[in-house]
Amino acid sequence: MRHLGSTWLFPFIGLSLSCISVLVRGMTDVRREELRDETAALFKHGYEGYMRYAYPADELRPLSCGPLGRDPNEGNFGINDIHANISMTLVDVLSSLPVVHPKAYPKAVQLVAERVSFDQDVKVQVFEMTIRALGALLSTYQHLDELPDDPILQAEKLGLEEEGWSWGGARKASVNLKQYKDRMLALAKDLGERLLPAFDTVTGIPYARVNLRSGVLKGESVETCTAGAGSLLLEFALLSRLTGDDRFESLAHNAYMAIWNRRTQQNLLGNTIGTHGHWLSPGFSGVGAGMDSFFEYGIKAGIMLDDDTYYDIFYDSYAAVQTHVRTPDGFIYRPIQIRLLQPSSPSTIDSLSAFLPGIQVLAGDVESAIKSHLVFWNLWRKHSAMPESWQWSERNVEWAGYPGRPEFIESTYYLYQATQDPFYLRVGERILSDLKRRTKTKCGFATLKNVMTGELEDRMESFMLSETLKYLYLLFADIPLPNANKVFTTEGHSLRVPPKHLRTPSLTRRTLRRGEHPTCPVYKPVMVGGLTEDEGIVVGIEGRAEYEYARSLIYGWGSEGLEAEDPSKMWWNGGVCHIPSAPKFAFEIVLSPLNTSDPSQVPPEDPSPGPNKVTQDSLTGDYVITDIEGLRLGVRWRFDGQGYDVSNIGPHRLRPGQQVIITDPTMRDHLPVASPPPSELSHSPAELILRFTAYPSDTAFVGQASGEGQVFLHAVGATAVFGKDFGAPLVKNGGEKKGWELGGKGMRLVIAPDANGQAEEGCQSLPRKYLGLSPEEDYVLAVARGNCTFLEKAILAKANGAAGVLVLGTPPVTDTDGNTWDEGLIRPSAEIDPALESELDDMGMIYTEYLVGEVLRRAVNVEKRVLGIELLRMDGDAVPDENGGRAAGAPAGGGKAGSGAPDDGVEAREGRLMVGQHAIHNLKVVNGDKIDRGGRRPP
């Protein structure tokens, strides 16, 4: 996402309108493949037009079919910022060629490796050179590194002729592309070093421009923008990891932090800043021009580098955007003044902010992504392109140009991957048709100077190939999003950090992450007539009320605004759509005793609550509050739309999956007398003993193993906080205890091997036949952690007849000092849909450490043994018997079994605090302990 000048919006004006609903309309695979091939043909047309008419210039003139060079006027930054005399279009498109036009890849790599030099006496923009050139070179280096060593195998992997490369119709002998790998990294480092002088400032915030040969020129402007200075992390960090030169990552990190540390009290950032560290006029915050990719690089740096620092910054800044920048309806993101917190005037949307839905998908906020994307979809549908800026409050185009920007298409691709709704394929089909009809020329693709008149400009920016047509191709080819420390940069280059280059988190970070399940909510389509797909009819994006509401924001009233595109596929429900109102996203609550009406009685904030008030459970990572006095809790809206979560307790940040438990007796009267439903109670016991028995390979393990078995391992397991409660009363089956419960008989343990002999993650269907099981065998499935959520593993295992799941932890990590650590035991957690809760009551999940899994794998894969597993309680755990009574060791009195609560004669109660109609899900008030805090007693 590139940045322009500043833009601003106007306050939201309320409307009401009628609703139209649409059932899901699909797209055949044949049609999707036709669109994929058409996109590839257009990409090839643009690339070969550049190579024929413009190379080695940086850009193509698509109307006059000639090269576009630097402007003699050095102040023409729109041209000169990216014209470095390095064949920029060829360099920028390198990472797209293997995907979309592989036949051109070998020659392109050779040309860049042999002819590109950054020893140029030109002033260019640091940001543009980083995202276009540096990112492309690093991506190409990694792609070449992944290719086989044999040239013939390289050709096969690229989908080329087995006997050699083809270029321009002339066949050539096989070329070993990997010989250029080191050259790509050397070029990247050379460019990085030429950009380093820009960081020589008092704050670490870099100058916007630098001369590639001379460095920062005398009199260079100190003005830069948040996106330009704060979107260098991905490329610079990877360059450091690959070369071992820490300068690049350190400087990019310092620049990013220098900007973030100048945020307002509300966690807002301005769009223009000086290298001296002061926000410059006009002082607006938002998500568009000048700010866009700062947010993008926050979450993507978290993903690629596995660094919570960047995750934290992103989610804090995103909460500020959702709270202050987003309009009350949840659809428009308008610039606001960072000091007065007032919306700007006039009110505009710029095309660069169309990146936001894609980032919202990455963040897990799919519902917000759908809404914001629909606004841009209606803009495109109205103008058959995306105008650079649009006054949404007056519904007028402010800046009518469209240079082929990719942001809206990129977001469409991300949303299709998240929802699989064919609506997004049809959006891509419309975009492809409009691009072909309005911008295609004899030798390339022109810029639309005016989206309303169709007037063209004689320029084809490099991102037309590297991003716009590439993302369309990815959409129609249904190529999944990258993951596992791999991302697309803001210029569409794929970068990844190999495991050996990941850095070990600090002890503090490892402690904070205990109990975490960093996954996004699964998209749930709207249903008509039922709660699940089996009970009702799935309604596509076009059938949601948000679809017509977004249309009204762009088109306004009348037949144009409410016209149905395909009436045969729609039905009228006779209802009225009310103006949407998004819940308040983030705020702070003050804990205080009940009925405190005098504000002076509210205790002052404790800025750094110590262990006398807040402690963290070393096993689960949960926080326990024993004294509420002076505590402020940050609260944020959950992305699944089910309410709120506590995000922080003063300086203590909560991770997904961690809970807050308040035991302060002064909160007692906040609770209802009735006990909470079973789903609100923690599962018990937290830990239990796993006993593993090995049997000969021919053992028939039906019901209970026959033949002599050998107990060879005892280990500790942590139970999940969803699904089966192992502390519940034991169920009898014909007078005999079942196997997958405490004290039950042994059950067969099955480890499903993958191609490497390791346990599969259990993220796909594993039928009994594949596992070598008979139809009547009961079994527990052992799976590796990762690749999908704990909930998805449980659902898939249950669907294939497993009685339970044993999750094998991740391997230990050795840091740069030679110290080895692992995460230990965690309690698997998940957000359970009420419709699934009862279905998973008998599906128990237990987590054990990686080394235990290694022993089990050896027994199965090497020793060829059949395994059995039994569950035993830890000493002192309370286990209810089958009649609901207490087994030996259970606490007496008013305490809850397994809770550890002593009997103080006070009825134990649990509950959750509410914000309006919404619960704070990860906060639980537990009252029943006798706590002495300096003489204070329960009331």
Q: 858-867, pLDDT tens digit by residue?
A: 888 888 888 9
Among 228-237, 282-291, 387-396, 739-748, whose mean pLDDT is lowest?
A: 739-748
Residue pair 62/459 in contact by the 8 Å Cβ criterion: yes
Q: Are residues 758 and 829 in the same domain?
A: yes
Q: What digits encode the pLDDT tens for the residues 300-324?
A: 999 999 999 999 999 999 999 999 9
Q: Which of 113, 262, 251 is nearest to 186 (CA)?
A: 113
Q: How far is CA 248 from CA 134, 188, 256, in A?
A: 12, 11, 12
Most confident of 474-478, 725-729, 853-857: 474-478
In a domain, 704, yes or no: yes
Report CA dihedral (261, 263, 266, 272) to the nearest 10 degrees.
-170
Would you tell me how many other CB atoms lie within 10 Å of the CB of residue 304?
A: 25
Comparing 679 with 224, the larger pLDDT belongs to 224
Q: Is the pLDDT of residue 15 over 90?
A: no
- pLDDT value of residue 601: 64
Angstrom distance (rounded) from CA 781 to CA 801: 10
Are residues 885 and 713 in contact, defined by beta-carbon separation less than 8 angstroms?
no
Dihedral-angle region of residue 803 (phi above 0 means left; psi in -120 to 50 means alpha; beta otherwise):
alpha
Does residue 221 lie within any of the structural domains?
A: no
Q: What is the pLDDT of residue 937?
A: 30
SS3 640: coil
Q: Are residues 735 and 839 in the same domain?
A: yes
Q: Is the dihedral of CA 785, 789, 794, 799 positive or negative?
A: negative
The values of phi and psi at residue 836, to 5°, are -95, -15
Q: Which residue has the higher pLDDT, 321 or 916?
A: 321
- pLDDT exceeding 90 applies to what percent of the chain? 51
Confidence of residue 911 (pLDDT cuts 50, 70, 90): confident
Helix axes 233-243, 135-146, angle to 10 degrees: 50
- Which residue, chain included where needed, has tokens 């064949």? 87
In DSSP notation, 678-701 reads GGGSPPS-SEEEEEEEEE-TT---
Distances (CA, A) of 925 to 334, 591, 789: 38, 12, 27
pLDDT bin (cut points 50, 70, 90) of residue 596 is low
Find out whether 48 and 374 touch, Cβ atoms under 8 Å.
Answer: no
User: Sorting pLDDT into bands at 50, 70 and 90, what band is 564?
Assistant: very low
Whether 767 is in a domain gets the answer: yes
Instruction: Report the SS3 class of residue 707.
Output: coil
- State the pLDDT confidence band at 392, using cuts at 50, 70 and 90: confident
Cα 805 to chain centroid, rounded: 26
936 phi and psi, to 5 degrees? -80, 135
pLDDT number for residue 711:
85
Distance (Å, rounded) from C-alpha 226 to C-alpha 680? 43
pLDDT at 494 over 90: yes
Q: Are residues 846 and 916 in the same domain?
A: no
Last residue of a domain, one of 851, 873, 895: 873
Least confident of 299-303, 359-363, 592-596, 846-850: 592-596
CATH number at residue 845: 3.50.30.30
pLDDT of residue 841: 82
Can you give the pTM of this predicted structure? 0.76
Relative to beta strand 623-625, strand 336-337 is unpaired
C-alpha triplet 859, 860, 865: angle, nearest 5°: 75
pLDDT at 503: 87
Residues near 538 by beta carbon (within 8 Å), at least 6 away in sequence:
23, 24, 525, 526, 527
Cβ neighbours, 10 Å, residue 653:
18
- pLDDT at 405 > cutoff 90: yes
| Model pLDDT for residues 235-259, shown as the tens digit of each residue | 999 999 999 999 999 999 999 999 9
Q: Which of 43-47, 105-109, 281-285, 523-527 has the lowest mean pLDDT?
A: 523-527
Average pLDDT on 696-706 reads 64
Q: How confident is the model at residue 374 (pLDDT cuts 50, 70, 90)?
A: very high
The answer to whether 505 and 308 have CB atoms below 8 angstroms apart is yes
Model confidence at 676, pLDDT cuts 50, 70, 90, reads very low
Q: Give pLDDT, residue 80.
A: 97
On whether both 618 and 737 belong to a single domain, the answer is no
Residues 717 and 628 in one domain: no
Tell me the pLDDT band of 16, cut-offs 50, 70 and 90. very low
Residue of 467, 485, 484, 3 whose CA lies nearest to 237: 485
Residue with structure tokens 């807002």?
268
- Which token pair is 715? 């280990």
Asked if 276 and 286 touch (Cβ cutoff 8 Å), the reply is: no
Give the pLDDT score at 346: 80
Q: Where is average pLDDT lowest: 170-179, 398-407, 474-483?
A: 170-179
Strands 623-625, 614-616: pairing is antiparallel
Least reliable range by pLDDT among 151-160, 277-286, 292-301, 680-689 = 680-689
Do you know the residue count of the chain?
A: 939
- Partner residues linked to 445 by β-bridges: 440
**For range 263-278, the mean pLDDT:** 96
For the segment 803-810, the average pLDDT, to the nearest whole number, is: 90
What is the distance between the alpha carbons of residues 780 and 799, in angstroms, rounded to a whole number?
13
Nearest alpha-carbon partner for 468 in 559, 365, 386, 360: 386
Which is more confidently placed, 520 or 486? Answer: 486
280 domain residue, yes or no? no
Task: Name which residue leads in pLDDT, 640 or 431.
Answer: 431
Catalytic residue annotation = 128, 292, 388, 407
Burial environment of residue 31 by CB neighbours within 10 A (0 to 12, 13 to 18, 19 or more): middle
Same domain, 705 and 793: yes
Domain count, the chain: 3
CB neighbourhood size of 150 (10 A) = 13
* Per-residue pLDDT at 706: 52
Residues 6+ apart with CB under 8 A from 932: none
Q: Following CA atoms 363, 232, 246, 120 in sequence, which dihedral angle do they give, to the nearest 10 degrees? A: 160
Q: Are 650 and 914 in contact (CB under 8 A)?
A: no
Q: What is the mean pLDDT of residues 104-114?
A: 97
Residues 773 and 743 placed together within one structural domain of the fold? yes
Task: Report, as an integer, the average pLDDT of 407-411.
Answer: 98
Listed in order, strand segments (DSSP E) in 622-686 are 623-625, 632-637, 644-649, 652-653, 660-662
**Secondary structure (3-state) at 61:** strand
Are residues 726 and 824 both part of a single domain? yes
The band of 600, judged by pLDDT with boundaries at 50, 70 and 90, is low
The reported pLDDT for the residue numbered 670 is 62
* Residue 364 domain-assigned (yes or no): no
> Do β-strands 687-695 and 710-719 pair in parallel, antiparallel, or remain unpaired?
antiparallel
Q: Within this chain, do residues 765 and 912 fall inside the same structural domain, yes or no?
A: no
Q: What is the pLDDT of residue 185?
A: 98
- Of 251-260, 376-385, 628-637, the one with minimum mean pLDDT is 628-637
Strand residue runs (E) in 48-135: 59-61, 66-68, 123-125
Distances (CA, A) of 702 to 708, 776, 857, 871: 14, 7, 21, 18
Position 361 pLDDT exceeds 90? yes
**What is the pairing mode between strands 732-733 and 710-719?**
unpaired
pLDDT 10s digits, 201-223: 999 999 999 999 999 999 999 99
**pLDDT above 70: residue 395:** yes
For residue 687, is pLDDT > 70?
yes
pLDDT of residue 815: 55
User: Is residue 351 pLDDT above 90, yes or no?
Assistant: yes
Residue 167 pLDDT: 46
Cβ neighbourhood burial of 822 (10 Å; 0-12, 13-18, 19+)? middle
Residues 613 and 731 in one domain: no
Residue 146, token pair as written in the block: 């992944």
Q: Which of 348-357, 513-522, 876-885 has the highest mean pLDDT?
A: 348-357
Q: What's the domain range around 545?
A: 526-577
DSSP-assigned beta bridge partners for residue 166? 171
Interhelix angle 366-383/407-419, rounded to 10 degrees, is 130
Q: Is the predicted pLDDT of residue 149 greater than 60, yes or no?
A: yes
Domain shared by 731 and 838, yes or no: yes
> At 39, is the pLDDT very low, low, confident or very high (cuts 50, 70, 90)?
very high
Residue 111 lies in a domain: no
Query: Given a cut of 60, is residue 576 above it in pLDDT?
Result: no
Q: Do 816 and 762 fall into the same domain?
A: yes
Cβ neighbour number for residue 673 with a 10 Å cutoff: 7
**CA separation for the pair 313, 309 (Å, rounded):** 6
156 occurs within a structural domain: no
**Cα–Cα dist 661/923, whole Å:** 6
848 is in an annotated binding site: no
pLDDT of residue 143: 97
pLDDT over 60 (residue 568): no
Q: How far is Cα 897 from Cα 433, in angstroms, rounded to an integer? A: 65
Higher pLDDT, 341 or 94: 94
Tell me: pLDDT of 920 over 50. Answer: yes
Give, in order, the Cα–Cα distances in Å from 906 to each of 535, 669, 902. Answer: 45, 13, 10
In a domain, 316, yes or no: no
Average pLDDT, the chain: 82
